[in-house]
């Protein structure tokens, strides 16, 4: 299978690319600037391309053409928040449909769908994630899995997760990447999963 990775340069996205390659997927990795952000180590299974979520839907669809699934790993809490996490996410969904891709794996954040549980300090970020998830669920025909992890860390991966976590729980970025990759061919369809590190092997949990 050929997988398109959005935000391949990000902290989670880099792990996603590595995990896909380790599992013998072909990878088309989208970077704002492939010359400076793509891995220096060459791989015949990795195609690094320029990809800008602020571009047109037709341009995004052309970049995705020929892929079997999309992993949206973008997460911007800076000036590009709305352009990336909201409008960019929606354009990526529409581009995937235009390119004939059914499977769409979206990285979100814990409790994005429950306004009462949003951290005040991240309110704008949660607004973007909420509406991006809502659009995916209610305004597309994509076969999606929305992954909502709790607090991310750079700890070593455990390979194990649990569902229905709290903010007191954590999960390593590498384990989040593994979940995103495992979700591609899992039996999870048009669903949202909330995860933290736990005691269930990831492949078994999905």
**pLDDT tens digits, 56-83:** 999 999 999 999 999 999 987 777 889 9
**Half-sphere exposure (CA, 13 Å, Cβ side) for 132?**
34
Residue 125 known to be catalytic: yes
The domain limits of the chain are 2-205
Task: Quote the CA–CA distance of 86 and 162 in Å, as a whole number.
Answer: 27
Let me know the angle formed at the C-alpha of 89 by 128 and 63, rounded to the nearest 5 degrees. Answer: 160
- Tally of CB atoms within 10 A around 159: 14
Is the CATH code 3.90.1300.10 the one for domain 2-205? no
Tell me the per-residue pLDDT of 98-142, one tens digit each, with 9 for 90 and over.
999 999 999 999 999 999 999 998 999 999 999 999 999 999 999
pTM: predicted TM-score of the whole model, two decimal places: 0.96
Query: Cα separation of 51 and 71, whole Å?
Result: 14
Q: Which is nearest to 153 in space by CA: 137, 169, 140?
A: 169
Kindly name the residue from 31, 125, 126, 130 that is annotated as catalytic. 125
Q: In this structure, are residues 172 and 154 in contact, taking their beta carbons and an 8 Å threshold?
A: yes
pLDDT in tens, 138-155: 999 999 999 999 999 999
């Amino acid at each position: 299978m050929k997988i398109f990775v959005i935000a391949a340069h990000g902290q989670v996205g880099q792990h996603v690319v590595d995990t896909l390659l380790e599992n013998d997927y072909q990878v088309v990795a989208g970077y704002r600037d492939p010359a400076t952000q793509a891995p220096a180590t060459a791989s015949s299974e990795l195609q690094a391309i320029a990809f800008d979520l602020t571009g047109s839907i037709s341009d995004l669809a052309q970049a995705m053409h020929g892929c079997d699934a999309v992993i949206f790993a973008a997460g911007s809490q800076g000036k590009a928040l709305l352009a990336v996490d909201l409008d960019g996410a929606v354009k990526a969904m529409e581009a995937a449909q235009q390119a004939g891709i059914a499977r769409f794996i979206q990285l979100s954040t814990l409790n994005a769908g429950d306004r009462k549980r949003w951290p005040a300090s991240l309110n704008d970020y949660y607004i973007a994630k909420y509406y991006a998830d809502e659009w995916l669920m209610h305004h597309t025909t994509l076969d999606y899995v929305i992954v909502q992890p709790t607090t991310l860390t750079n700890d070593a991966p455990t390979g194990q997760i649990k569902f229905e976590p709290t903010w007191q729980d954590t999960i390593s970025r590498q384990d989040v990447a593994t979940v995103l990759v495992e979700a591609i061919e899992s039996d999870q369809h048009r669903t949202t999963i909330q995860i933290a590190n736990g005691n269930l092997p990831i492949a078994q949990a999905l």
